């Protein structure tokens, strides 16, 4: 009778330990999963924002360069630069 | 015109026109969004500057750029430091070179212009083909290759892994040391290529929001962990409690069904539980006694014993022998222990009575005691028992002087002749018959003992000397008349007094007197008798225990 009781207790103990172990592993997996999700979300956010910023910057730079190029091409023709009075070289210190 | 150019696009730091000899004729500066034309007195001769030499090599309609460098005015580096890309194109009039338009494109302003959203968390940099930082949201990083103290800001030096990745791919991403780097290659035309080859954006990988999320997760994990530990603890406690309870039950079962008897009662000694041993000893089943008082067990306690037990139970236990009667009325003896069971407040809740059956032992003791105190031939008490009872009676009479008790000593006359003539077996038979006769003739309270070979003594409590004489005379006469007992007896009687030895001597002297007077007589000790007094004095003097122990005394006494 004593052995039967003891075996029953051992079985109960094993059952409880298994449940706790499974619960603990599930809990760890859940926490790990949540942690990974936060990391992934953050990485996704960073990737998205970086890609967006890089695309916008490239586009804006192209636009700026285009305007500068346009301006520099038109400038020589936009004014009678030859009529500007020249100054004697000796008046001005070269830098 | 220059004013409107600068006003229209805030990427220029300077726009000027140089004549064909390198002298500034017009210069418009943009100092932190303040656009102003430089007075003619402050215009400079740039003919010696390298970029002017480069400009002179440009052909008509050609646009040239001079690599990004720090702006210098009047021979001094401008404060704050400005880095700019010079874009130069020659001006012609009727195929004659008139001068040069030089536009300083501020790299910092370009960087600001291309940044759609300013944010402290993002750092945007424009990098040249050698990894030098031409513009950055962090000004301390800019143009490190031009300052000895800031050389480490070259990407090839500070982040070689990133630089290798940049060289190997047009765009990409790298996370290192909690910082995420993203880059893309600027596909600018050759003219504007010196403005920069790459745009690099960096942010800390972990933000406050992420840190908060992680903290929340950590808090949840901690709480859940605590919950799990709590549940585990509770389950293990339950399990342990269950195991202990099971073990207690086993122990209790083992103890309850052991060789000892167990009775559990409530605080009023009403039976709650008993075991098989108790049923065996008492003859009652558990069902018959459930809820009944212990009194039903016919346990015999005196008032004094009850007082003692109560006294001991105040100290939680009592142990002693108990005599009771079973269901059939048979006596049993127990060695019992009563243990008080109290609650946490100290109130008595139950009594646990454990006992072992000592009935057989007590019976054996009784048998042994009887054997040690009785005469094996006649089955009456022996001399030891007689002495003990005589002493008890003496003590009693000493305590109560008006109490009367008598001692009679009976001796078979000429017993030696019976043995000699008929044999010892007949003598023994005569002794047995006399003992049986005395037992039948005396009261239950009288003590009859064989105190010598053919001598018997009778202790008669609550008896006066006259009553004792009457009894012994009746006995003597009945023996004399009996055919079963073909002998006569002589007897001496004395009153039991505080000195047991003296009482015995008195009876002995009286017996001697009866013998001396011819036998078949009953004689009482008379303290006034000269003969008795003389013999008493003699016996005391000779220190003879029995007056008639020594036959040699007879002539001495007769002489006296």
CB contact under 8 A, A68 and B9: yes
**pTM, entire model:** 0.49
Instruction: State whether B407 and B543 are in the same domain.
Output: yes
Instruction: State whether B429 and B347 are in the same domain.
Output: no
Burial B405-426 (b: 16+ CB within 10 A, else e): bbbbbbbbbebeebbeeeeeee
Instruction: State whether B280 and B182 are in the same domain.
Output: no
Mutate to test the interface with A, among B10, B61, B114 (most CBs of A within 10 A): B114
**Does residue B226 belong to any structural domain of this protein?**
no
Dist CA B272 CA B263 (whole Å): 8
**pLDDT of chain A along its 95 residues, tens only?**
556 666 777 787 788 788 888 888 888 898 899 889 988 888 888 888 888 888 888 888 888 888 888 888 887 777 666 666 666 655 555 55
Note whether A9 contacts B: Cβ–Cβ < 8 A: yes
Which residues does residue B447 pair with via DSSP β-bridges, in sequence order? B459
Indicate the SS3 state at residue B175.
Answer: strand
- What is the model's pLDDT at position A5? 65
Final residue of a structural domain among B108, B139, B174: B108
CB atoms within 10 A of CB B404: 17
CB contact under 8 A, A42 and B206: yes
**Does residue A67 belong to any structural domain of this protein?**
no
DSSP code string of B317-338: EEEEEEEEE-TTS-EEEEEEEE
Dist CA B34 CA B45 (whole Å): 24
Query: Cα distance from A22 to chain B (closest Cα, Å)?
Result: 11
> In degrees, to the nearest 5, what angle opens at C-alpha B198 toward C-alphas B144 and B183?
110
CB atoms within 10 A of CB A34: 16
Domain that holds residue A25: 1-61
Which CATH number does the domain housing residue B482 bear? 3.30.70.270
Which CATH number does the domain housing residue B84 bear? 3.30.450.20
Token representation of residue B88: 């130069």
- What is the model's pLDDT at position B108? 82
Indicate the SS3 state at residue B457.
Answer: strand
**Does residue A87 belong to any structural domain of this protein?**
no
Instruction: State whether B412 and B491 are in the same domain.
Output: yes
- What is the model's pLDDT at position B552? 46
**Does residue A93 belong to any structural domain of this protein?**
no
Domain that holds residue B448: 374-559
**Does residue B30 belong to any structural domain of this protein?**
yes
Q: Which residues of A touch B188 (CB under 8 A)?
A: 61, 65
**Does residue A79 belong to any structural domain of this protein?**
no
Number of domains in chain B: 4
Interaxial angle between packed helices B107-114 and A2-74, expressed in degrees from 0 to 180 and rounded to the nearest 10:
120
Final residue of a structural domain among B108, B129, B146: B108
* ipTM reported for the complex, 2 dp: 0.72
- Which of 11-40 (A) contact B at CB < 8 A? 12-13, 16, 20, 23-24, 27, 31, 34-35, 38-39
**Does residue A80 belong to any structural domain of this protein?**
no
Instruction: State whether B102 and B32 are in the same domain.
Output: yes
Dist CA B505 CA B558 (whole Å): 18
Q: Which residues of A touch B114 (CB under 8 A)?
A: 56-58, 60-61, 64
The secondary structure of chain A in percent helix, strand, coil, rounded to multiples of 5, reads: 85, 0, 15
Instruction: State whether B331 and B441 are in the same domain.
Output: no
Mean pLDDT, 10 residues at a time, chain B of 560 residues: 76 87 87 81 84 89 84 70 85 85 86 73 86 83 70 79 90 85 88 86 80 87 86 81 82 81 88 86 84 80 83 88 86 90 88 90 89 91 93 92 93 91 91 94 93 93 94 94 89 92 91 90 87 77 49 44
**Does residue A10 belong to any structural domain of this protein?**
yes
Dist CA B2 CA B9 (whole Å): 11
Specify whether the CB–CB gap between B103 and A72 falls below 8 A.
yes
**Does residue A74 belong to any structural domain of this protein?**
no
Q: Which residues of B touch A9 (CB under 8 A)?
A: 239, 242-243, 246
Final residue of a structural domain among B205, B220, B239: B205
Token representation of residue B105: 């494109």
Number of domains in chain A: 1
Q: Which residues of A touch B48 (CB under 8 A)?
A: 94-95
Query: Cα distance from B94 to chain A (closest Cα, Å)?
Result: 10
Dist CA B309 CA B321 (whole Å): 11
CB atoms within 10 A of CB B555: 9
CB atoms within 10 A of CB A27: 15
**Does residue B210 belong to any structural domain of this protein?**
no
CA nearest B91 in A: which residue? A76
Instruction: State whether B411 and B526 are in the same domain.
Output: yes
Specify whether the CB–CB gap between B51 and B153 falls below 8 A.
no
């Amino acid at each position: 009778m004593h052995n039967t009781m003891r075996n029953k207790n051992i079985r109960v103990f094993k059952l409880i330990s298994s449940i706790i172990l499974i619960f603990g592993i599930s809990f760890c997996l859940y926490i790990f999963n949540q942690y990974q999700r936060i990391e992934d979300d953050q990485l996704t956010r960073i990737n998205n924002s970086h890609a967006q910023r890089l695309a916008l910057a490239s586009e804006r730079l192209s636009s700026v360069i285009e305007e500068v190029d346009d301006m520099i091409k038109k400038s020589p023709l936009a004014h009678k630069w030859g009529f500007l009075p020249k100054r004697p070289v000796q008046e001005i210190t070269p830098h | 015109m220059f004013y409107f150019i600068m006003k229209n696009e805030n990427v220029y730091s300077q726009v000027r026109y140089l004549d064909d000899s390198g002298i500034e004729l017009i210069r418009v500066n943009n100092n932190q969004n303040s656009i102003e034309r430089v007075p003619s007195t402050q215009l400079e001769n740039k003919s010696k500057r390298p970029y002017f030499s480069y400009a002179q090599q440009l052909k008509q309609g050609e646009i040239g750029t001079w690599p990004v460098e720090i702006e210098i005015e009047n021979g001094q580096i401008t404060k704050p430091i400005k880095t700019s890309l010079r874009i130069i194109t020659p001006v012609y009039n009727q195929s004659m070179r008139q001068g040069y338009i030089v536009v300083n494109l501020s790299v910092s302003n370009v960087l600001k212009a291309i940044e759609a959203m300013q944010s402290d968390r993002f750092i945007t940099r424009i990098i040249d083909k050698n990894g030098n930082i031409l513009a950055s949201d962090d000004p301390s990083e800019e143009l490190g290759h031009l300052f000895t103290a800031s050389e480490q800001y070259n990407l090839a030096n500070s982040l070689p892994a990133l630089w290798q990745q940049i060289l190997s791919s047009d765009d990409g991403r790298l996370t290192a040391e909690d910082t995420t780097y993203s880059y893309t290659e600027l596909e600018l035309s050759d003219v504007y290529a010196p403005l920069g080859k790459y745009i690099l954006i960096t942010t800390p990988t972990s933000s406050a929001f992420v840190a908060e999320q992680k903290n929340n997760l950590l808090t949840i994990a901690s709480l859940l962990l605590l919950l799990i530990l709590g549940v585990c603890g509770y389950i293990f406690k339950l399990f342990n409690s269950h195991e202990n309870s099971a073990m207690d039950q086993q122990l209790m079962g083992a103890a309850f069904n052991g060789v000892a008897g167990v009775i559990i009662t409530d605080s009023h000694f009403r039976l709650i539980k008993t075991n098989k041993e108790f049923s065996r000893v008492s003859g009652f089943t558990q069902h018959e006694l459930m809820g009944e008082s212990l009194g039903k067990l016919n346990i015999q306690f005196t008032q004094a014993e009850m007082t003692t037990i109560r006294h001991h139970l105040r100290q939680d236990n009592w142990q002693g022998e108990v005599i009771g009667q079973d269901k059939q009325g048979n006596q049993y003896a127990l060695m019992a222990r009563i243990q008080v069971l109290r609650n946490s407040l100290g109130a008595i809740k139950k009594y646990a009575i454990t006992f072992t059956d000592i009935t057989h032992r007590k019976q054996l003791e009784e048998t042994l005691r009887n054997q040690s105190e009785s005469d094996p031939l006649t089955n009456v008490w022996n001399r030891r028992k007689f002495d003990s009872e005589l002493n008890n009676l003496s003590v009693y009479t000493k305590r109560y002087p008006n109490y009367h008790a008598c001692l009679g000593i009976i001796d078979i006359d000429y017993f030696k002749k019976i043995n000699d003539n008929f044999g010892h077996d007949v003598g023994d038979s005569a002794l047995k018959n006399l003992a049986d006769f005395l037992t039948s003739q005396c009261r239950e309270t009288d003590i009859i003992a064989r105190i010598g070979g053919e001598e018997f003594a009778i202790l008669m409590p609550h008896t006066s000397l006259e009553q004792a004489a009457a009894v012994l005379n009746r006995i003597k006469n009945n023996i004399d008349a009996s055919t079963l007992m073909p002998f006569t007896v002589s007897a001496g009687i004395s009153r039991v007094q505080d000195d047991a030895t003296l009482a015995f001597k008195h009876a002995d002297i009286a017996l001697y007197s009866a013998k001396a007077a011819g036998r078949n007589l009953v004689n009482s000790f008379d303290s006034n008798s000269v003969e008795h007094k003389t013999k008493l004095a003699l016996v005391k003097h000779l220190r003879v225990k029995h007056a008639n122990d020594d036959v040699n005394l007879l002539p001495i006494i007769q002489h006296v």
